[in-house]
């Protein structure tokens, strides 16, 4: 198990939202209360103990639009998000997968990756890259990770009194990792070896934990991890997981299963123009509140734990 130290936070000040419009209700388990807020300017909350940026499904590619996906416009959308993030005192930045779109050759796909990461890597010193199915369509995992300078496709670290875990669901049902166009995007799985690692990792920490994933762990449909129920059993048994953040289905969504909120973020690639952008800043407050401040098309959410279960 590898815990990676974090660098000094970047940035100067935060742009957050003000006012909370309650849209959710108390959870069925009584452990959390979920709410959403309208997008407005809000001053920094001094109760914040940690702040990180979230962005997903950029699908950058130097090619014409296809349907609702505007691949080249990701560069300008990312530039806007970068300005917002750099004005916010982020502790780290997480990209939830599909940083690039698929290409027909390794050379072209590496070109896509080099171009978008040239911009992305300048936003924050400490970054986490979650693998999406498009990231390893033509490339192997080793090629993608080597290019962005990340050692592992899944792992964990501690920051601000919290434990953070990122997962890799880019494995076929037979356990083979995605790469070289050997996969079907609906066949996403977390293999036994990674589940064993996750169980041990959660057992080794006493800290409240946040999970990052690409494919959805709360949806039995085509965008979901096929063995998500097995993964959720591990998360729930630990008694430590406070939230799961994920992408892949390109839509705002918030569901609760087994007392754990599963928050799905919108895709940056969808739609033309900056008004179709989407990204978020997440604040962890000292009273246990987790707040998602969304920008452009990204919804705002907040939930507060009412009673923390004991560690499992």
Can you give the pLDDT at residue 46?
67
The pLDDT tens digits for 88-136 are: 889 999 999 999 999 889 999 999 999 999 999 999 999 999 999 999 9
Rounded CA-CA distance 228/186 in Å is 13
- Asked if residue 15 is part of any domain, the answer here is no
* List of residues 6+ apart from 233 with CB closer than 8 A: none
pLDDT tens digits for range 219-267:
888 999 999 999 999 999 999 999 999 999 999 999 999 999 999 999 9
pTM of the model as a whole: 0.84
Q: How far is CA 44 from CA 50, 201, 286, 290, in A?
A: 12, 33, 14, 14
Q: Tell me whether residue 12 is in a domain.
A: no
What average pLDDT does range 64-76 have in this prediction? 96
Classify residue 312: in a domain, yes or no: no
| Cα end-to-end span (Å), the chain | 18
Flag whether 20 is in a domain.
no
Q: Which domain holds residue 228?
A: 47-305
206 lies in a domain?
A: yes
pLDDT band at 286 (very low <50, low <70, confident <90, very high): confident
| Count: domains in the chain | 1
CA dihedral 40, 43, 47, 49 (to 10 degrees): 90
Residue 5 lies in a domain: no
Give me the residue label for tokens 């014409």: 64
Could you tell me which of 193, 259, 277 has the C-alpha nearest to residue 34? 259
DSSP 187: -
Please report the pLDDT score of residue 45 as a whole number.
Answer: 61
Q: Is the pLDDT of residue 36 over 80?
A: no
Q: What is the CATH number of the domain that holds 102?
A: 3.60.21.10
- 107 falls within a domain: yes
Whether the predicted pLDDT of 39 surpasses 90: no
């Amino acid at each position: 198990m590898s815990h990676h130290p974090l660098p000094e936070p970047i940035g100067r000040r935060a742009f957050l939202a003000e006012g909370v419009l309650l849209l959710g209700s108390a959870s069925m388990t009584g452990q959390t209360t979920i709410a959403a807020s309208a997008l407005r300017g809000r001053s920094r909350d001094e109760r914040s103990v940690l702040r990180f940026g979230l962005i997903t499904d950029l699908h950058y590619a130097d090619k014409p639009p296809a349907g609702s996906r505007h691949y080249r416009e990701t560069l300008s959308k990312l530039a806007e998000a970068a300005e917002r993030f750099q004005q916010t005192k982020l502790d780290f930045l997480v990209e939830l997968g599909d940083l690039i779109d698929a290409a027909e050759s390794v050379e072209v796909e590496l070109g896509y990756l080099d171009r978008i990461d040239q911009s992305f890597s300048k936003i924050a010193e400490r970054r986490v890259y979650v693998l999406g199915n498009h990231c390893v369509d033509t490339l192997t995992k080793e090629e993608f990770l080597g290019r962005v300078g990340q050692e592992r496709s899944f792992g964990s670290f501690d920051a601000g009194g919290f434990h953070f875990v990122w997962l890799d669901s880019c494995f076929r049902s037979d356990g083979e990792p995605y790469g070289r166009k050997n996969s079907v995007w609906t066949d996403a799985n977390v293999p036994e070896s990674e589940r064993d690692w996750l169980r041990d990792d959660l057992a080794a920490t006493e800290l409240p934990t946040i999970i990052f994933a690409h494919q959805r762990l709360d949806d039995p449909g085509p965008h979901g991890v096929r063995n998500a129920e097995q993964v959720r059993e591990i998360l729930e048994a630990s008694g430590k997981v406070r939230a799961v953040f994920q992408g892949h289905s390109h839509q705002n969504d918030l569901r609760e299963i087994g007392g754990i909120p599963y928050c799905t973020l919108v895709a940056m690639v969808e739609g033309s123009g900056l008004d179709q952008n989407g990204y978020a800043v997440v604040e962890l407050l000292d009273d246990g509140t987790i707040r998602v401040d969304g920008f452009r098309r990204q919804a705002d959410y907040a939930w507060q734990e009412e009673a923390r279960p004991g560690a499992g």
